[in-house]
């Protein structure tokens, strides 16, 4: 999807406006005046870059979390109909955790692609992005603390929130006890280990 296709999406515009306001707040007085005095086309170009960043971030984050949930489905036995029902449940769970995912309009084809390409190596690789964000020494952790000014307690709070979302999402997905409890527990433990939660 091109960036143009998002420009009439009210959730996208709201996220972009919020992102721009946060960006402006982060500027010094001189930088703020310089930014606000830019010609309209230059400001639009900067807004487009921010918008692309929002779309890329949402897409990447959705992909990581959907892959974690699809790994659980790989442990189950089901028909194609049941699989699509579970895929829709994954979309619903993720949107309930962050309604901005609606901006990227995830669908069953997206989840089928993830399902077809799923591997434990991919799961471990994607989970490591959480470990990198919330473990001292990780590149993203350093950016959060050193460059974005997050306190250690704020990083810990974010880590706990993400851990809660992932574990509660896995439990919601398996709410009808679709797989043996031991398989479910083993899978959840593997995810938490890969994420370093």
Q: Could you tell me which of 161, 1, 151 has the C-alpha nearest to residue 65?
A: 161
Is residue 134 within 8 Å of 162, Cβ to Cβ?
yes
Give the dihedral sign, CA 66/69/71/76: negative
Q: How does pLDDT run across 45-88, given as a tens digit for each residue?
A: 888 888 888 899 899 999 999 999 999 998 887 888 888 999 99
**Contact in structure between 82 and 50 (CB atoms under 8 Å):** no
| Tens-place pLDDT, residues 30-48 | 888 888 888 988 888 888 8
Q: Which of these, 172, 185, 7, 148, lies nearest to 94 by C-alpha position?
A: 172
pLDDT of residue 65: 96
Phi, psi of 168 (to 5 degrees): -70, -35
pLDDT at residue 70, rounded to an integer: 95
pLDDT for the residue 6: 79
132-189 pLDDT, tens digit per residue, is: 999 888 898 888 888 778 888 998 999 999 999 999 999 998 877 778 888 999 999 9
The span from the CA of 1 to the CA of 129, in Å, is 25
Q: Which long-range contacts (CB under 8 A, 24 or more apart) does 132-140 make?
A: 133/158, 133/159, 134/158, 134/159, 134/162, 134/196, 134/197, 135/196
Q: How many CB atoms lie within 10 A of CB 134?
A: 21
Burial of 116 (0-12, 13-18, 19+ CB in 10 A): exposed
pLDDT in tens, 81-107: 888 999 999 999 999 999 999 999 999
């Amino acid at each position: 999807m091109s960036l143009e296709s998002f420009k009439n999406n009210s959730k996208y515009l709201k996220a972009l406006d919020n992102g721009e306001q946060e960006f402006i707040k982060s500027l010094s007085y001189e930088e703020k005046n310089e930014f606000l005095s830019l010609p309209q086309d230059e400001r639009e170009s900067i807004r487009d870059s921010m918008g692309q960043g929002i779309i890329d971030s949402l897409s990447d984050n959705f992909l990581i979390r959907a892959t974690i949930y699809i790994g659980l489905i790989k442990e189950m036995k089901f028909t194609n109909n049941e699989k699509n029902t579970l895929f829709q449940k994954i979309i619903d769970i993720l949107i309930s955790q962050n309604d901005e995912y609606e901006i990227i309009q995830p669908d069953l084809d997206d989840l089928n692609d993830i399902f077809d390409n799923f591997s434990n190596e991919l799961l471990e690789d994607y989970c490591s992005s959480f470990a990198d964000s919330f473990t001292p020494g990780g590149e993203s952790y350093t950016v959060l603390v050193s460059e974005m000014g997050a306190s250690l307690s704020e990083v810990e709070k974010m880590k706990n929130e993400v851990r809660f979302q992932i574990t509660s999402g896995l439990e919601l997905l398996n709410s009808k006890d679709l797989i043996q409890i031991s398989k479910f527990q083993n899978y959840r433990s593997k995810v938490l280990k890969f994420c370093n939660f």
